[in-house]
Amino acid sequence: MLPAYIPNNAAAVFGGGAPLDLGLSWRGNRILGDGKTIRGTISGIACGALAAFILNIINLSVSSLDLPVFSSLVIIALPIGSLSGDALGSFLKRSLDIPQGTTAPLLDQLDFVIGSLLLVLFISPTWFFETFTLSIILTIFILTPFLHLSINIIGYLLGIKKVPW
């Protein structure tokens, strides 16, 4: 899941600039808000894909690791799905009048995981079922909220994030 975890962090670090929603509104609210930017999205996808590519190299170099080999489609699908899920989460929050920076428990922590898993399932179902067992999926859903909060606290302490959640 590393190629799905990295994009959101990379988007926060390298983001800024023009908003992904181009400042447009829907039903009186911004579609995504200023936190989702074009540069952040491109950077996040690139960093997630690079992580998958590096993991492939490591896996081929050290065969005893038994990591999954990411196909070209999966290399792109994991980070795109991650950022798409995160954007959908932002859209839902804006639609529910939840201000940017306000936490929405579980939605904030799992939207990107759900987005990445669904896109990979759609793009490459064979790879998905060969890679993700039920126990792995459960582990992802249990550990991700804790990992997400930990990384956000670190980002907040480093001044990258405005809020620690």
Segment-wise mean pLDDT, segments of 10 residues, the chain, 165 residues: 95 94 92 94 98 94 87 97 96 88 87 98 97 96 94 88 80
Residue pLDDT, tens place only, 107-134? 989 999 999 999 999 999 999 999 999 9
pLDDT at 7: 97
DSSP 80-119: HHHHHHHHHHHHHHHHTTPPTT---TTHHHHHHHHHHHHH
**The model's pTM:** 0.90
Distance from C-alpha of 90 to C-alpha of 112, rounded to nearest angstrom:
11
Task: Measure the CA angle with vertex 64, ends 63 and 69; round to 5°.
Answer: 45
pLDDT at 122: 98
pLDDT at 70: 96
pLDDT at 128: 98
